[in-house]
Amino acid sequence: MIQVFENKDILNKQTADLFIEKAQEAIDKRDKFTVALTGGSSPAGLYKLLASSAYKEQVDWSKVYVFWGDERWVPLDDEKSNAGAAFKDFLNDLPIPNDHIFPMWKKNIEPEAYAKEYEAILEDHLELGDIFDLILLGMGDDGHTASLFPNQKVLNEKEKKVAAYYLAPQNMYRITLTAPLINKARKIVFIVFGEKKTNALYEVIEGERNSTLYPSQLIQPVSGNIVWMVDKVAAGKLSI
Ligand SMILES: O=C(O)[C@H](O)[C@@H](O)[C@H](O)[C@H](O)COP(=O)(O)O
């Protein structure tokens, strides 16, 4: 499903409402809510809203478990850290127990080894070992999502739930949930806005099927429960 909003502010508000709804539903049914956050700049507005007084009281944060969809392999105090940004944007302001928050980075360990450790963490906390209640995703202007970048071997990963690899064009390691794991989520929400995304969004949604070039095409949850929250500008080339 694609939902097009007039602007980024309305998009963020609707996404915050959806987040709250999914959190309440999961807590009512299973007494916990497991969410994977996205990095990059797209979620900042959403995160700030969730920590604002209008939203904060609507969730029992003590039952929330926070993971990430992907991470740049840098310490949390590095400005490139997805986890570091999320702490600043909202996690520091919410009463989530520290041992419910699982950044995809740890010191004194190699990224590949931590990917294995992260799989074990997921197995301990997710229902049936791999079902997230909600996964938030952004999309790059090249059509990547999480750290599933065009032309990378990780796109073919079928066994691992979490993979780490050296991303040569960025000269850094990336760690990411793999597409098969992401696709098991109960609900996937993409957040996409701005004119830099217009072309890639068109290719991903309506272009030829080519997930090597447009990895976001790999994201098709088994539940069928995916929603693209997009603004009018990003949706500019879509036929809807
Ligand atoms: O670590 C990352 O870079 C991401 O998680 C990545 O997949 C991001 O969501 C897109 O690149 C969109 O980035 P922006 O939100 O900055 O446009």
Structure tokens given for 58: 């609507």
H or E stretch including 7? none
Amino acid at 234: A
Q: Is the distance from CB of 231 to CB of 198 less than 8 angstroms?
A: no
Q: Whose CA is nearest to atom 3 of ligand 1?
A: 40
Residue 50 lies in a domain: yes
Residue 238 belongs to some domain of the structure: no
Q: Tally Cβ neighbours within 10 Å of residue 165.
A: 19
For ligand 1, atom 7, which residue shows the shortest CA distance?
146
CA distance 73 to 83: 11
Residues in the ligand 1 pocket, defined by CB under 6 Å:
38-42, 69-70, 72, 82, 138-140, 144-146
For ligand 1, mutation pick of 73, 82, 139, 182 (most atoms within 8 Å of CB): 139
In this structure, which residue's CA is closest to atom 5 in ligand 1?
39
How confident is the prediction along the chain (240 residues), in pLDDT tens digits per residue?
A: 999 999 999 999 999 999 999 999 999 999 999 999 999 999 999 999 999 999 999 999 999 999 999 999 999 999 999 999 999 999 999 999 999 999 999 999 999 999 999 999 999 999 998 999 999 999 999 999 999 999 999 999 999 999 999 999 999 999 999 999 999 999 999 999 999 999 999 999 999 999 999 999 999 999 989 999 999 999 999 998
How far is Cα 67 from Cα 50, in angstroms, rounded to an integer?
A: 16
Would 158 be classed as within a structural domain?
yes
Best of 46, 67, 70 to mutate for ligand 1, by most ligand atoms within 8 A of CB?
A: 70
CA of 31 to the centre of ligand 1 (A): 30
The model's pLDDT over 35-44, given as tens digits with 9 standing for 90+, comes to 999 999 999 9
Residue 165 is inside which H or E element, if any?
A: strand 162-167
46-90 residue pLDDT tens: 999 999 999 999 999 999 999 999 999 999 999 999 999 999 999
Q: What is the pLDDT of residue 224?
A: 87
CATH number at residue 202: 3.40.50.1360
Q: Does the model's pTM come out above 0.95?
A: yes
With respect to residue 47, please indicate whether it lies within any of the assigned structural domains: yes
So what's the pLDDT on residue 240? 81
Q: Is residue 239 part of a domain?
A: no
- Cα separation, 240 vs 235, whole angstroms: 8
Domain holding 112, by residue range, is 2-233
Distance from C-alpha of 138 to C-alpha of 196, rounded to nearest angstrom: 13
Into how many domains does the chain fold? 1
Tokens of 237: 């080339």
Structural domain contains residue 240: no
Whether residue 96 is contained in a domain is answered as: yes
**84 CA → ligand 1 middle, Å:** 14
